[in-house]
Amino acid sequence: MFKIVSVIIVGLFILGCSSQNSMNVSNAMFQSVNKEDATLVQEGEKKGYCARCGMDLVKFYKTSHAATFDGKNYQYCSIHCLEEHLGEGIELKNPKVVDVASLKFIDVNKAYYVVGSSKRGTMTKVSKYAFLNEADAKKFQAEFGGEIMDFNKAREKAKEDFKHYKN
């Protein structure tokens, strides 16, 4: 009898945990993903945190960018922090962004950015979400609004935030 009760209790506990987990994800910020779905490219203890602002890269994964400089990988929470690093005049190579649809890193030059949708942004009031496929970007735009543009135009939009902060 005791065994049966404990099996039921353990069972309930596991059920409780799993529904808690899925609840956490759906209630979390749009940018957040499960840790196992995130690609972290930096080395060392701080690999899970933005190279510029230190924010959690799994929490802000869907706006994450990455690049290499001097043979070292850097990962950012957002195009904002990538832009800040570029603003120092260093030559960042191979810039990449997370494709919101597949959660994989893609070349920024292949990305369709949806800028200014109703989904909240990272480090900005004007959100920027990237997609590999134009169809995915259009689908997102149809649901949440915003304007579709390429990486260079999205960078220009990101730069506007720096002007804003200076004023």
Q: What is the binding site for Zn ion (CB under 5 A)?
A: 50, 52-53, 55, 77, 81
- Alpha-helix residue ranges (DSSP H) falling in 28-130: 79-86
State which residue, 38 or 81, has the beta carbon closest to Zn ion: 81
State which residue, 50 or 111, has the beta carbon closest to Zn ion: 50
State which residue, 32 or 141, has the beta carbon closest to Zn ion: 32
State which residue, 81 or 130, has the beta carbon closest to Zn ion: 81
Q: Residue 48 CB, nearest distance to Zn ion (Å)? A: 12
Q: Residue 73 CB, nearest distance to Zn ion (Å)? A: 15
Q: Residue 154 CB, nearest distance to Zn ion (Å)? A: 16
* Strands in the chain per DSSP E: 65-69, 72-76, 93-98, 105-107, 112-115, 128-131, 147-149
Q: Residue 22 CB, nearest distance to Zn ion (Å)? A: 27
CA 27 to the chain's CA centroid = 16
Residue 68: partners with Cβ closer than 8 Å, 6 or more residues away: 74, 92, 93, 94
Residue 102 · residue 134 · CB < 8 Å: no
